[in-house]
Amino acid sequence: MTNPLVSATVTSPITEAYSWIAGRSFPRDRPLIDVSQAVPGYPPPSALTDDLATALGDPALSQYGPVLGVPELREALAANISRAYGTPMAAHHVAITAGCNQAFTLAVAALCGAGDEVILPVPYYFNHDMWLGMTGVVARYLPCGPDMLPDVEQAEALVGDRTRAITLVTPNNPTGRVYPPALIHSFFELAKRRGIRLILDETYRDFRPDTEPAHPLFDDPDWADVVVHLHSFSKVFSITGYRVGGLATHPDLLAEIDKIADCLTICPSRPAQHAALFGLRHLGDWVESNRLLMNRRVAAFRLAIDAEQANIEIAAAGAYFAYVRHPLPEPSATVARRLVDEQNVLALAGSMFGPGQEDSLRLAFANLDESEMPELAGRLARFFA
């Protein structure tokens, strides 16, 4: 026997997508274009890896550390949040986690019991939905509009006696849509008014079109009673395999999270924390150059789709992603499998991101150079012709 909640949960869409190409080889004149998983197309800078290689000689990096992260990194992340949002952030509000996915799972575990509810805009980030299902937390789906933005009034209609949180992801995974500050603030006001939490996943905030504060939430003196802010070092420093992220919220909630994290990882990886601390201290210019690079890639994708007159609609694009609608009547999983079989393009089906997404695909093109966008667009145009 296995846990029926786990058994009822879908296999990770990434795992499923890679099963489609298992054992296959692709010709040199039409290689695989893999836009399935959100991965940076460049390695971390040698300054980071060289520093880490030297630091690994320190015995402390092979020992346990504090459950919620080493103090130096908590302080550095608090300072980084202060700069990014223009509002002072204290280190006792900040914890370090084994990646942003763990930050979400810890927050939900601390806030929700089986049968409680969390509101998820659709399309959703599939790992969020998977975790809710496996833990017996009910996902209440909030369909986004054609502009890929959730509506706060529709969200309030979903709030019930067992609602514990609303989750927003901005810039969004899977759509790439950057939520306007006023919209984020309206969800904060809703959560505050109804006595629930706003879990705000900002994994991709360093790839937005501008560097203005993404929202004004930390200006509110009561922010910590409402917000659980999730952060990731994976994409910004190109260290996805290191598994290091963080969160910011009320110290009372962090005390509950401490209990859960101690049972899972005991502490975040000490080498990964060292790398993240180096990044925060030394890689500001490198991060900014990659923000500009990713925005050029988004623009190049849009231009290439327009030039090819591909028979698809870009519903939204930004950060690492484009979310596109297609005209085919088949189930989206069938469309995605045919796309890799016929055009050697591996993308994720819209149905992997929630109900009502059968006419959509997600393209995670951060690993493609600008010069590769015309080839991607051409293959899509031929497939959807």
CATH code at 46-283: 3.40.640.10
CB 73 within 8 A of CB 273: yes
> b vs e for 65-92, b when ≥16 Cβ sit within 10 Å of the residue's Cβ?
bbbbbbeebbbbbbbbbeebbeeebebe
DSSP label at 173? Answer: T
Domain residue ranges in the chain: 4-43+286-383, 46-283
Please state, for a pLDDT cut of 70, what percent of the chain lies above it. Answer: 100
Residue 309: per-residue pLDDT: 86
**pTM: predicted TM-score of the whole model, two decimal places:** 0.96
CATH code of 4-43+286-383, in short, is 3.90.1150.10
- Say what the pLDDT of residue 25 is: 94
Average pLDDT over residues 205-225: 97
Q: Is the pLDDT of residue 310 over 90?
A: no
Position 319 pLDDT exceeds 90:
yes
How far apart are the C-alpha atoms of 132 and 241, rounded to whole Å?
Answer: 24
Assigned token pair, 335: 């469309």
* Contact predicate 384/327, CB 8 Å: yes
Rounded Cα distance, 238 and 84, in Å: 19
What average pLDDT does the segment 44-70 reach? 97
271-301 pLDDT, tens digit per residue, is: 999 999 999 999 999 999 999 999 999 999 9
Q: What's the alpha-carbon Rg for the chain, to the nearest Å? A: 21
Give the chain's mean pLDDT.
97
